[in-house]
Amino acid sequence: MIPIEHILLLSALLFIIGVLGVMLRRNVIVIFMSIELMLNAVNLSFVTFARSLDSMTGVIFIFFIIVVAAAEAVVGLSIILSIFRTRKTLNIDEFNLLKW
Amino acid sequence: MSQIWLVPAFPLLGFVLNGFLGKRFGTRFVTFVGPLAVGMAFAQSLILFFQMLEAEGNVLNEHLYTWIASGNFEAGINFTVDQLSGLYLLIITGVGFLIHVYSVGYMKGESGYYRFFAYLNLFVFFMLLLVLGDNFLLMFVGWEGVGLCSYLLIGYYFEKDSAAEAAKKAFLFNRVGDFGVLSAVLLIFLSFGSIEFATVNAEASTRLEFGGPLVTAITLLLFLGATGKSAQIPLFVWLPDAMEGPTPVSALIHAATMVTAGLYMVARLSHLFVLAPFTMNVIAVVGATTAILAATIAITQTDIKRVLAYSTVSQLGYMFLAMGVGAFGAGVFHVMTHAFFKALLFLGSGSVILAIHHEQDMRKMGALKNKLPITYVTMLLGTLAISGIPFFSGFFSKDEILWEAFSSPFGSPWLWGIGFLTAGMTAFYMFRMIYLTFHGDSRVDSHVTEHVRESPLSMTLPLMILAALAVIGGFFGVPHVFHVIPNGIEVYFHDFFAEIPAGHGNVSTEWTLMILSVIFAFFAWFMASRLYHSGFEIASGLRSKWEWAYQLSLNKWYVDELYNSIIIQPGRLLSTHLLWGLFDQNVIDRAVNTTGAVARSVGNTIRPFQNGLIQNYALIFTLGTFLILWYMT
Amino acid sequence: MLNAEFVAVIQVLVYAGAIMVLFLFVLMLLSSKDSEQYVNKWSVGKILAGLLSLGIFIQIAGLFTANELQLGSKGEYPLEVVEEVGSITLIGRLLFTDYILSFEIIAILLLVAVIGAVVIAKRRFQ
């Protein structure tokens, strides 16, 4: 049995990589994939805690997170499709209408 | 059950009816309602007067409504009829009624007829409020109200610039006086905890130190208000200009009633004033000085109403002289007789003016005594009264004042001297007026001469009634020395006014002074007849010798010009350069503009944060997360 | 190693099977011309981002590797029970009894998401 601190560290590392991906990459699709990465990192930490606490609640929660992640990916990608039709580019610096 | 509230209620109702319905219902309605309102008030005043004489302590009280009750301070709408206000009630409503009847004839055909009577009724209402109130607050409401009505009525011919200016001037000078009254009321409240006259009079000697700074300040401030309302130095210059109003207004407001409000206040608070000998001296000196100053101006005036206006100022000075030497009863007596003969003189002059088609300049009058007989006789009687010719009303009241000025502990022979000279000058310029108006050769414009006719009964009847009063009114206050009938005024006012120490001087001195002033009055009459019985020619010769005195007198001693240069021009310069230029533009505008500029610059600095770049937003998320985690660990 | 076989299988199925396929479809539809070259400039923001992320990692790591990692109360399904009953059975049982409300809501969420996606990405026919 691996001590859980290692798995938790792995989860944290995956999360940080996801965050960096959101902040530093320019392609919108890549940013989305980074968001999925963040969600998966959290899944991992949930499973770890479920095992170490002898509880099934964590697993149920993972179930829900996966569903939500899928839904959000679907909606997000459809939005990107819609915006792409006007702007013809996937550079996130062009999606700058969220201002005054 | 005394219904005191009825007395002011009638004129108020008259104002409402005339003001709102007068225009619709026309002249006959207004003619009926206007004088009737004051007439009913007069009837009720008579009833109250006799009730008051029967009542215990000679006072009737009525509590209507508690206006303000806040902590220790309470002010109610309470009416009091005592000796002083009872007499004033009769004067105001009686003379007021006669003047209303006169105005029916005088203002006939004027547009705005209803407006005139509405304002006149309103004035009577406020004046009644002034004398009926039993506390300073109610008196002050009346005080301000009569000032307002004076403004409205002086500016009755509001299309004329001069009338509007005169109205403004009257109101502004009144306002200066009001500042004095209000400050005094504040001080009184601080000292006494109450603003009721009864309380103040009763506790004055116990609460205030005799001759101390507080009571002197209070009384001086009150006197300042009185000078504004009653046209004494330094605030008298509005009264001659107020002659722009119609003649009945001049008669009622500026001869008989409003200008006596200041005297009413001083008389009402006699117990307070005797505690401040300094103020009494000031009042006496100011009164005497005003009297002689106004008399010197009246000698050369050519407008008949101006002569009477300055005469009013002069006579008011007499009354203040009386108050100042402690002869409160004599002062009030002169108020009464003055109301009779001055109203008579003004109304008579109005009759003359109307007869020669609104001409007021005496250089265009003359030889009217045959054409206007009733007017002539009544005006002559009024002139005899004012000049102090024996046994007319003015003789008794004026002599009482002169004697008290000489003999009272507050008085002095100098004051008597000034009063004596003024009496002579009064006789002189009044008879001058009579001779120039009614005697000599006619200087009336030719096209007017044919239409000169005596005035209608509505105007001459009040003249006759007032003339009768001017003749017999003096017998109420026959001085002791005559030993014929008791001095009615002293009996009436027993114990009402504050006591002053007994004066010096004996009976023989009194007779001597009286005979001196009678001789002087006849002498002045004689001089006037010599100079003016045939018009201006003889007088003009005299004028060229004393040109400088003539100019000084004609131009009112340049008082208006003095005020202009000392007060008005510096005030204007101060406002323009300092208050507007320096303060308003620089400080206030700058503050406002700076606030706007600051808001704009703050906005400009913060706006770039929201640039729409999503990755920037994500960056700020992570920054926030970092800080929160840092704080939590 | 953590005895959560169900989770593993579900992850592979959903992510590799559904979401990746979705991404590929979208990429196919977004036919951008020759792939744009993103110029990667270093800027203050990027350095700050890197530093902050590092900071956060250190903080979380510090949290996880603290000396006394205090865990909450133990649950009711120790390893033996899970191995005996089977994790899928347990999950199914729990979903349909204790967590039934959340389950229904999730179902509706999925439905809404699908409808929303179709509506947003539809071409507007004039």
Say what the pLDDT of residue B566 is.
84
B75: enclosing H helix or E strand: strand B73-81
Kindly state the tokens that stand for B362.
């005496």
Query: Of B548 and B422, which is predicted with more confidence?
Result: B422
Q: CA-CA distance, B4 to B59, in Å (whole number)?
A: 12
Of all residues in chain B, the one with the smallest CA distance to A93 is B613
Contact B106, B246 (CB under 8 A): yes
Q: Where are the domains of chain A?
A: 26-88
**Average of per-residue pLDDT across B151-163:** 89
| A98/B619 CB distance under 8 A | no
**Residues in contact with B574: Cβ distance below 8 Å, sequence separation at least 6, in sequence order:** none
Pair B114, B104: CB distance under 8 Å: no
Task: Yes or no: say if C40 and A30 are a contact pair by the CB < 8 Å rule.
Answer: no
CB pairs under 8 A between B and C: 25
Q: What was the pLDDT predicted at C70?
A: 64
Q: Do C59 and B629 touch (CB under 8 A)?
A: yes
Other CB atoms within a 10 A radius of the CB of residue B328 amount to: 24
pLDDT of residue C39: 67
Of A56-65, C72-81, C90-99, the poorest mean pLDDT is in C72-81
User: Is C114 within the bounds of a domain?
Assistant: yes
Distance of CA A30 to the CA centre of its chain: 11
C-alpha B144/C-alpha B133 separation (Å) is 13
- Using 50, 70 and 90 to split pLDDT, how confident is the model at B558? confident
Integer Rg of chain A from CA: 17
Give the confidence band of A69 by pLDDT, cuts at 50, 70, 90: very high
Q: What is the CB neighbour count within 10 angstroms for residue B350?
A: 28
When pLDDT is averaged across residues B138-156 and rounded to a whole number, the result is: 91
| One-letter-per-residue 3-state SS of chain C | CCCCHHHHHHHHHHHHHHHHHHHHHHHHHCCCCCCCCCCCCCCHHHHHHHHHHHHHHHHHHHHHCCCCCCCCCCCCCCHHHHHHHCHHHHHHHHHHHCCHHHHHHHHHHHHHHHHHHHHHHCCCCC
Q: At what angle do helices B373-387 and B328-355 cross, to 10 degrees?
A: 150
Q: Which residue has the higher pLDDT, B415 or C40?
A: B415
Number of residues that make up chain A: 100
Please, which pLDDT band fits residue B480 given cuts at 50, 70 and 90?
A: low
Q: Is the pLDDT of residue B588 over 60?
A: yes
Q: Does B484 touch chain C (CB under 8 A)?
A: no
* B633 reaches A (C-beta below 8 A): no
Best of B607, B610, B611, B615 to mutate (most A CBs within 10 Å, chain A) = B615
Closest CA–CA distance from residue C102 to any residue of chain B (Å): 28
What subunits touch chain C, counting only 3 or more CB pairs under 8 A? A, B
Residue B1 pLDDT exceeds 80: no
Of B6-20, B455-469, B532-546, which range is least confident? B532-546
Domain ranges of chain B: 1-134, 328-538
Confidence of residue C48 (pLDDT cuts 50, 70, 90): confident
Q: Stretch B240-260: mean pLDDT, rounded?
A: 85
Among residues B241, B224, B376, B403, which one has the least CA distance to residue B312?
Answer: B241
Please tell me the distance from the alpha carbon of residue B429 to that of residue B435, in angstroms, as a whole number: 10
User: C9 near A54, Cβ under 8 Å?
Assistant: no
pLDDT of residue C118: 92
Candidate from B98-107, B348-357, B443-452, B458-467 with smallest mean pLDDT: B443-452
User: Using one digit for the tens of pLDDT, what is the confidence trace for B216-237?
Assistant: 888 899 999 998 888 888 888 8
One-letter amino acid identity for B210?
Answer: F
Predicted local distance difference test score (pLDDT) of residue C38: 65
What would the mean pLDDT of B321-345 be, rounded to a whole number?
89
Per-residue pLDDT at A37:
94
Residue B595 above 90 pLDDT?
Answer: yes
> Which chains would you list as touching A if contact means 3+ CB atom pairs under 8 Å?
B, C
Element (H, E) at B296: helix B277-298
Burial of residue B519, with CB atoms counted within 10 A of its CB: 0-12 exposed, 13-18 middle, 19 or more buried: exposed
Question: pLDDT, tens digit, for every residue of A41-56?
Answer: 999 999 888 888 778 8
pLDDT at B354 over 80: yes
For helices B413-438 and B507-532, angle between their N-to-C axes, nearest 10 degrees: 30
* φ and ψ of B61, to 5 deg: -120, 150
A54 touches B: beta carbon within 8 Å: no
Residue partners of B246: CB distance under 8 A and separation at least 6:
B103, B106, B107, B116, B153, B156, B157, B350
Q: Dig out the tokens for B617 from the structure.
A: 């937003």
For the segment B301-319, the average pLDDT, to the nearest whole number, is 90
Cα→Cα distances B455→B213, B245, B434, B439, Å: 56, 20, 18, 19
Burial of B326 (0-12, 13-18, 19+ CB in 10 A): buried
pLDDT digits (tens, 9 = 90+) for B270-301: 888 888 888 888 999 999 999 999 998 888 88
CA distance C121 to chain B (A): 21
Say how far apart CA A30 and CA A92 lie, in whole Å.
10
Question: In Å, how far is C66's CA from the nearest CA of chain B?
Answer: 11
- Identify residue B524 by its one-letter amino acid code: A
Closest CA to B292 of B273, B327, B267, B320: B320
Q: Is residue C68 part of a domain?
A: no
Q: Assess: ipTM above 0.85.
A: yes
Give me the pLDDT at residue B183, please. 92
Cα distance from A1 to chain B (closest Cα, Å)?
Answer: 29
Peptide linkage before C78 cis (omega within 30 of 0): no
Show the DSSP H helices in B69-196 as ranges: 83-106, 113-132, 136-154, 161-192
Give Cα B161 distance to the centre of its chain.
23
Residue A66 or residue B55, greater confidence: A66
Task: Specify whether the CB–CB gap between B335 and B400 falls below 8 A.
Answer: no
Note whether C45 contacts B615, CB cutoff 8 Å.
yes
- Residue B368's φ and ψ, nearest 5 degrees, are -100, 0
| Interface touch B626/C48, C-beta < 8 Å | no
Look at A100 and B614 and tell me if their CB atoms are within 8 Å: no
Question: Measured between alpha carbons, how far is residue B459 from residues B108, B245, B339, B383, B444 in Å?
Answer: 11, 18, 17, 19, 22
DSSP B197-264: HHHHHHHHHHHS-TT-HHHHHHHHHHHHHHHHHTT-TTS-THHHHGGGS-HHHHHIIIIISGGGHHHH
Judge whether residue B410 has pLDDT over 70.
yes
Using pLDDT thresholds of 50, 70 and 90, give the confidence band for residue B627.
very high
Total number of residues shown for chain B: 633
Does residue B630 carry a pLDDT above 80? yes
Domain that holds residue C104: 82-126
- The mean per-residue pLDDT over the stretch B245-257 comes to 85
- Reported as a pLDDT band with limits 50, 70 and 90, residue A34 is very high
Contacts of residue B272, Cβ cutoff 8 Å, sequence gap at least 6: B200, B201, B204, B208, B215, B218, B219, B222
Q: Please check whether residue B629 touches C, CB under 8 A.
A: yes
Q: What is the mean pLDDT of chain B?
A: 85
Q: What span, in angstroms and rounded, lies between the C-alpha atoms of A32 and C20?
A: 11
Secondary structure class of A55 (helix, strand, coil): coil
> B614 contacts in A (CB within 8 Å)?
92, 95-96, 98
**CA B499/CA B600 separation, integer angstroms:** 74
pLDDT at B326: 84
CB pairs under 8 A between A and B: 29
User: Nearest residue on chain A to C124, judged by CA atoms?
Assistant: A82
What gap in Å lies between CA B90 and CA B211, rounded to an integer? 35
Q: How far apart are CA C35 and CA A80, in angstroms?
A: 17
A23/B619 touch (CB, cutoff 8 Å), yes or no: yes
Compute the nearest-CA separation of C32 from chain B (Å): 21
